Every structure is written in C-alpha cells, then in structure tokens.
Amino acid sequence: MKEDAKKMAQLLRSGNTMLNKACPVCSNPIFRNKNGKVFCPICNREVMFVDNDAENTLTDKERNDIKIQEDLRNPLKQVLLEKIDIITQKLKSETQIDVIDKYVMLLTRCFELLKAINDLNM
C-alpha cells in the first residue's frame, strides 16, 4: 500500500493531476497526464469515461467491455474471474483425466456462482 501512495505522490510531483474519480477495477484514484490521457497508476491501465448520451452509440464490443469493467467492481465477481483464469491455465497443460475432471467441476461451480450473482443484480 505504501508503494501505491509513493507512486501517486511521484505522479503529482511530476505534474500529473489526480482526478476525483476512482478506477473501476481497483478503486484507487485515477490521474490525467499532461497529454490528457486518463489512467490508473496502480492497475497501469488507461481509463475512459462514457456519458449516458453517448451510450446509445456504443458498439456491442464497447458495451461488453463496459460490462466487464462493471463486473470487476464486484469483489466476488473479480475473485471468481481470477480463479476461472487460474483454473483454465492449469487445465491447458493437464493430462490426467481425474485432475481434468476436478478442474471442470470447479469451473462449473464458478460459472454457476457468477450466474447466481448476475441473477441477484437484475
């Protein structure tokens, strides 16, 4: 945590502006550099804002990207998505049938939980 604060302090000293908005992924303050780029120094990602009027002109991919960003705000969803990624990586190299079966069962449970969370949020 101290490293994050040091990084943000250095950005302020170097002329970047801390905005009164939080990163949709990690909830830390976001910054704008001298060129106008808005970014999260902790996630090391560019952040873009969408106004409600412009939302109607978004492509399906852009809407999906925004949905993913919204999903990442929910800590349980974020943990489940991270676990799904870990299990998937292990599954790629696994050759033992019984272990593959366990990974598939874990993935199934994770996706069931994600569906239940989505149903609750509707």
Residues 93 and 45 in one domain: no
Q: Which residues contact 11 (CB under 8 A, 6 or more apart)?
A: 18, 31, 41
Residues 27 and 6 in one domain: yes
pTM of the model: 0.42
pLDDT tens figures, 29-84: 888 898 888 898 888 888 877 655 544 555 666 666 666 655 555 778 888 888 88
Residues 10 and 51 in one domain: yes
Residues 87 and 103 in one domain: yes
- The residue behind tokens 């990690």 is 26
Residues 13 and 66 in one domain: yes
pLDDT tens figures, 15-27: 888 888 888 888 8
3-state SS string over 11-57? HHHCCCEEEEEECCCCCCEEEECCCCCEEECCCCEECCCCCCCHHHH
Question: Into how many domains does the chain fold?
Answer: 2
Residues 106 and 50 in one domain: no
Residues 86 and 32 in one domain: no
Domain span at 105: 74-122
Question: pLDDT value at position 55?
Answer: 47
In whole angstroms, how large is the CA radius of gyration of the chain? Answer: 19
pLDDT tens figures, 106-117: 999 988 888 887
The one-letter code for the residue type at 66 is: I
Residues 32 and 2 in one domain: yes
